[in-house]
């Protein structure tokens, strides 16, 4: 137990002696210190002292797939700020390389009777049917932002993937690109499937064999780079990518082929992640309205916490095309 309390102290940024004073209800502890220690107890799955257990209802779990993709920290920050204004305390739960999964976090969150859960870029389907059923049976308030899986009946806040593809294709076509490739995430990833549906709808009647222009891969620079060669061999001169990381991988692979962006190839990303203005070249991308989406998600969560019934509607938000240096008029 001493080792676990030491871990709690490290997580909360206090001494083990301070942890002991909080656990024993000693006076003179600053509220923010007390809250940090109690949150650390919850994160490590340690039962709170009885006199603190009624405080658990103020906790909200934020489940994200990873923190490598800058869009997830951006959403987490925006959601956290709005939860804090409501007097709710966010607990960040992210998958780790050593096997800590959504199921692990959901189990901990259910043990601690959280006020609600916000899934960002993931969903309770990732944890398996048993946990999904338990969340529904317990009527835990939850909201999903850009969920990776279909979650009918749950409150969802999403960017309009179809509108994103329409904007990217219109931009690239206006620049003279008629062979446009689409780089997506894995098969079965719902936002990628929606982008694909919009892309196919745009190809119908054009005589284009769209399957040759689409590539599924992992959401990473390496994934984007891995599929670029095949699409270039298909004569693609314009790329629309399902994330900024994929777009940066495409740019890297294009250069390895002896081509230049945007002189030879134009590339459009998705998300408008941090530092996309500082890449070489600055990335043309579709910006997600993070602040508006976070506000809608927290408003839905608050309504559920207050006892309102969720209709299962999905709120879609229009992305914004941000034109920078990675796209230009196609050279004859």
How many structural domains does the chain have?
A: 3
What is residue 286's three-state secondary structure? strand
Residue 327 lies in a domain: no
On whether both 245 and 135 belong to a single domain, the answer is: no
On whether both 171 and 280 belong to a single domain, the answer is: yes
- Backbone φ/ψ region at 315: left (φ over 0), alpha (ψ -120 to 50), beta: beta
Q: Quick one: pLDDT band at residue 56, thresholds 50, 70, 90?
A: very low
pLDDT tens sequence across 276-300: 999 999 999 999 999 999 999 999 9
User: Angle at the Cα of 68 (from 64 to 73), degrees rounded to 5?
Assistant: 55
Residue 332 lies in a domain: no
On whether both 271 and 185 belong to a single domain, the answer is: yes
On whether both 281 and 140 belong to a single domain, the answer is: no
pLDDT tens sequence across 97-130: 555 666 777 777 777 778 899 999 986 666 666 6
Other CB atoms within a 10 A radius of the CB of residue 216 amount to 18
On whether both 136 and 104 belong to a single domain, the answer is: yes
On whether both 87 and 153 belong to a single domain, the answer is: yes
Mean pLDDT of the chain: 88
Q: What is the pLDDT of residue 35?
A: 77
| Residue where the block lists tokens 């992992």 | 218
Which structural domain range is residue 301 located in?
55-159+291-317
Distance CA 301, CA 287 (A): 24
């Amino acid at each position: 137990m001493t080792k676990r309390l030491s871990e709690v102290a490290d997580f909360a940024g206090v001494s083990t002696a301070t942890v002991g004073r909080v656990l024993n209800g000693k006076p003179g502890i600053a509220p923010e210190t007390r809250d940090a220690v109690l949150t650390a107890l919850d994160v490590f799955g340690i039962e709170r002292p009885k006199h603190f257990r009624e405080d658990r209802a103020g906790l909200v779990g934020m489940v994200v797939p990873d923190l490598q993709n800058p869009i997830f920290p951006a959403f987490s920050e925006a959601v956290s700020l709005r939860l804090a204004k409501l007097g709710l305390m966010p607990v960040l739960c992210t998958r780790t390389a050593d096997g800590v999964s959504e199921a692990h976090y959901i189990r901990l969150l259910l043990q601690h009777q959280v006020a609600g859960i916000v899934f960002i870029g993931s969903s309770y389907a990732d944890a398996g049917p048993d946990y999904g059923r338990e969340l529904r049976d317990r009527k835990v308030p939850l909201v999903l932002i850009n969920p990776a899986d279909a979650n009918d009946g749950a409150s969802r806040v999403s960017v309009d993937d179809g509108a994103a593809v329409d904007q990217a294709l219109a931009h690239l076509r206006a620049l003279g690109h008629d062979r446009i490739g689409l780089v997506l995430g894995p098969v079965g990833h719902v936002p990628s499937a929606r982008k694909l549906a919009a892309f196919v709808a745009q190809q119908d009647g054009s005589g284009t064999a769209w399957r040759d222009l689409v590539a599924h891969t992992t959401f990473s620079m390496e994934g984007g780079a891995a599929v670029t060669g095949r699409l270039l061999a298909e004569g693609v001169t314009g790329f629309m990518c399902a994330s900024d990381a994929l777009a940066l991988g495409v740019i890297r692979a294009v250069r390895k082929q002896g081509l230049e962006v945007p002189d030879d190839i134009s590339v459009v990303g998705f998300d408008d992640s941090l530092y996309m203005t500082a890449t070489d070249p600055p990335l043309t991308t579709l910006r997600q309205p993070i602040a508006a989406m976070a506000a809608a998600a927290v408003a839905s969560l608050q309504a559920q916490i207050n006892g309102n019934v969720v209709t299962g509607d999905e709120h879609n938000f229009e992305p914004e095309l941000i034109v920078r240096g990675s796209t230009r008029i196609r050279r004859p």
